[in-house]
């Protein structure tokens, strides 16, 4: 098995007839999935998603894949293939299109519809779109694409086959193998087998659940649990789930109808996505069941169901507002039931538990995946991946979509089935498929691109570190005025603190040492304010660390007057 190596250098130019794979995001993290394939000087992109920030990204709205390795070659991009409509696969597309607006977009009907509403929100013109379905073939430059149905936690997901002179690549996208999905559309193992017979040279597979033994539970198994929750409740029920989980919403609708309840959506993305899903026929809404969420409150509580966003504890979401009693029209009553029918994405735990606590404090019965089967994963577990490897019999495997541990577990599964060559790469690690063998050939720089308010990519990892220091340690400013001729301190030091000891007296013991340090620096020949500022920073830094065991951000300002 090949490992990424920290001292990899930039790859040599791609050999003629070879296919290059450049992961720009999603390998080493759960989110911002994006892969570039290069053949004969042309590029094909698969997915362009966002990563949601965690607690250690204060103030960041979104994290994008890094387009830098392909930025100079955007003209060579033949198409962007979107495997399904989840944010971590389509969410960064508007940002890519701002750099080149006419990249052809390829995806299934639902994927393109969800993307379309996103592009309109970003006020981007809709570019050439190629709607594809399973079994279809379409060619872009040297890339001959074919699509295979896969089952996932959103309808209409596709795996993509990429045929070039270098061989056959099969990219699963996100998938699982639910044998009894609500829409009857299973992962097409017949097609996987046929491709296996033809010969798959490189198989890129979803690693998210590779550490989970066995098989992912069927979506349908949630229904009886919801049924039980509804049967027990004689007040209002609020169900929070992902705004793209059409089948989860379908199950809630069906149970609500069975119990004579009416349903309203809360949360902008829920309203928007479910309208799209209903219009395109992916969601079947029984007549008379839907009510405007605001009007739902006119009904008796035992006839109300709200389907809401905010299952990940997003602070501005409908559910968070409800938990904080700040939602404009949903006011929780003691004895109401709240169901969090969703996963707990790593990094969101604190936020989710905060919401659960807030709801519990208001007297709600909270049902979540920790105490009931109200969520199943959208990803293939180890057992399903083993089936895939045995059916596809690929020559080379490259695990994708997941943290390193997930990709590593996925690699072990592939090897256990006898796959000879397994390549574990991370973002930026370049893999070439040449003469039927996939190999790591180098590395390109791939960083985190932060979207922060209206700026994209202006916030660096260094400023993120500053924000963490500000958040955890606070801030100290020291202002000193020195005589421009003698270097003597004529005013100050004036010390201001935020998020640190704010008592004036705290700083009394350090004022004189600052003056002494400046005087001795001047005596040693320091003659500009930059040098004196460094002196102040050192003295104050040592003192804070010794006397307070803290490392606040220190901003020294020395003014020559």
Query: Where do contacts with Zn ion occur on this chain (CB under 5 A)?
Result: 86, 174
Q: How far is the CB of 58 from Zn ion (least distance, A)?
A: 26
Q: How far is the CB of 298 from Zn ion (least distance, A)?
A: 37
Rounded Cα gap, residues 348 and 54, in angstroms: 7
- Is 377 labelled as part of a ligand binding site? yes
- Is 368 labelled as part of a ligand binding site? no
Closer Cβ to Zn ion, 174 or 188, answer by number: 174
Rounded Cα gap, residues 341 and 463, in angstroms: 36
Q: Where are the alpha helices (DSSP H) in 206-317?
A: 222-232, 246-258, 268-279, 293-296
Cα–Cα distances in angstroms (integers) from residue 191 to residues 135, 162, 273, 392, in the given order: 9, 14, 30, 9
- Is 375 labelled as part of a ligand binding site? yes
Query: Of the candidates 437, 411, 410, which has an alpha carbon nearest to the alpha carbon of residue 422?
Result: 411
Rounded Cα gap, residues 503 and 548, in angstroms: 13
- Is 491 labelled as part of a ligand binding site? no
Q: Classify burial at 315, counting beta carbons within 10 Å of its beta carbon; exposed 0-12, middle 13-18, buried 19 or more.
A: exposed
* Residues forming a β-bridge with 205: 399
Q: How far is the CB of 33 from Zn ion (least distance, A)?
A: 8
Rounded Cα gap, residues 313 and 354, in angstroms: 7
Closer Cβ to Zn ion, 57 or 176, answer by number: 176
Closer Cβ to Zn ion, 45 or 540, answer by number: 45
Rounded Cα gap, residues 308 and 13, in angstroms: 50
Closer Cβ to Zn ion, 146 or 174, answer by number: 174
- Beta strand extents in 299-418 (DSSP E only): 304-308, 337-340, 365-368, 396-400
Q: How far is the CB of 116 from Zn ion (least distance, A)?
A: 18
Closer Cβ to Zn ion, 206 or 452, answer by number: 206
Closer Cβ to Zn ion, 89 or 393, answer by number: 89
Closer Cβ to Zn ion, 86 or 393, answer by number: 86
Cα–Cα distances in angstroms (integers) from residue 343 to residues 64, 205, 239, in the given order: 22, 21, 13
Q: How far is the CB of 13 from Zn ion (least distance, A)?
A: 34
- Is 376 labelled as part of a ligand binding site? yes
DSSP-based helix, strand, coil % in the chain, nearest 5: 35, 25, 40
Give the number of other CB atoms < 10 A from CB of residue 547: 12
Q: How far is the CB of 379 from Zn ion (least distance, A)?
A: 8
Rounded Cα gap, residues 536 and 515, in angstroms: 9
Q: How far is the CB of 183 from Zn ion (least distance, A)?
A: 16
The annotated binding site is made up of 375-379
The annotated binding site for substrate is made up of 375-379
């Amino acid at each position: 098995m090949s490992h990424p190596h920290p001292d990899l250098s930039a790859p040599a130019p791609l050999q003629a007839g070879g296919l290059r794979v450049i992961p720009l995001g999603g390998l080493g993290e759960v989110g911002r999935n994006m892969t570039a394939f290069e053949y004969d000087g042309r590029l094909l992109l698969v997915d362009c998603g966002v990563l949601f920030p965690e607690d250690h990204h204060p103030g960041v709205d979104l994290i994008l894949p890094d387009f830098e390795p392909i930025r100079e070659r955007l003209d060579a991009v033949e198409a962007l293939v979107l495997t399904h409509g989840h944010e971590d696969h389509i969410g960064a597309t508007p940002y890519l299109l701002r750099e080149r607006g006419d990249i052809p977009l390829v995806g299934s009907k639902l994927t393109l519809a969800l993307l379309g509403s996103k592009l309109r929100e970003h006020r981007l013109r809709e570019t050439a779109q190629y709607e594809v379905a399973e079994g279809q073939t379409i060619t872009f430059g040297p890339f001959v694409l074919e699509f295979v149905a896969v089952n996932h936690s959103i309808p209409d997901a596709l795996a993509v086959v990429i045929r070039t002179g270098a061989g056959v690549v099969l990219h699963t996208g996100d998938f699982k193998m639910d044998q009894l999905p609500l829409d009857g559309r299973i992962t097409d193992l017949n097609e996987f087998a046929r491709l296996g017979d033809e010969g798959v040279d490189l198989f890129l597979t979803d690693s998210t659940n590779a550490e989970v033994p066995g098989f992912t539970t069927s979506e349908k198994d949630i229904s009886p649990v919801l049924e039980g929750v509804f049967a027990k409740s004689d007040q209002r029920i609020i169900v929070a789930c992902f705004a793209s989980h059409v089948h989860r919403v379908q199950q809630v609708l069906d149970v609500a109808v069975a119990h004579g309840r009416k349903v309203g959506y809360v949360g902008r993305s829920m309203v928007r996505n479910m309208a799209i899903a209903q219009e395109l026929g992916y969601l079947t809404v029984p007549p008379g069941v839907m009510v405007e969420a605001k009007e739902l409150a006119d009904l008796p509580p035992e006839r109300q169901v709200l389907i809401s966003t905010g299952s990940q504890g997003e602070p501005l979401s409908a559910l968070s507002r409800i938990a904080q009693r700040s939602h404009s029209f949903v006011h929780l009553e003691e004895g109401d039931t709240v169901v969090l029918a969703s996963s707990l994405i790593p990094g969101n735990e604190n936020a989710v538990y905060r919401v659960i606590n807030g709801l519990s404090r208001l007297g709600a019965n909270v049902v979540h995946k920790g105490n009931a089967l109200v969520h199943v994963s959208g990803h293939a577990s180890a057992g399903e991946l083993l089936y895939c490897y045995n059916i596809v019999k690929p020559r080379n495997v490259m695990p994708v979509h997941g943290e390193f541990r997930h990709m590593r577990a996925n690699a072990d599964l592939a090897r256990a089935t006898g796959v000879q060559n397994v390549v574990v790469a991370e973002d930026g690690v370049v893999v070439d498929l040449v003469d039927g063998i996939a190999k790591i050939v180098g590395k390109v720089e791939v960083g985190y691109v932060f979207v922060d308010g209206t700026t994209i990519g202006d916030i660096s990892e260094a400023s993120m570190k500053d924000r963490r220091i500000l958040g955890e340690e606070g801030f100290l400013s020291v202002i000193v005025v020195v005589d421009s001729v003698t270097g003597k301190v004529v005013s100050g030091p004036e010390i201001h603190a935020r998020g640190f000891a704010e008592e004036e007296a705290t700083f009394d013991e350090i004022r004189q040492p600052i003056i002494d340090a400046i005087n001795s620096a001047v005596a040693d020949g320091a003659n500009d304010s930059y040098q004196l500022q460094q002196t102040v920073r050192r003295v104050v830094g040592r003192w804070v660390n010794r006397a307070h065991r803290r490392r606040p951000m220190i901003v020294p300002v020395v003014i020559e007057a």
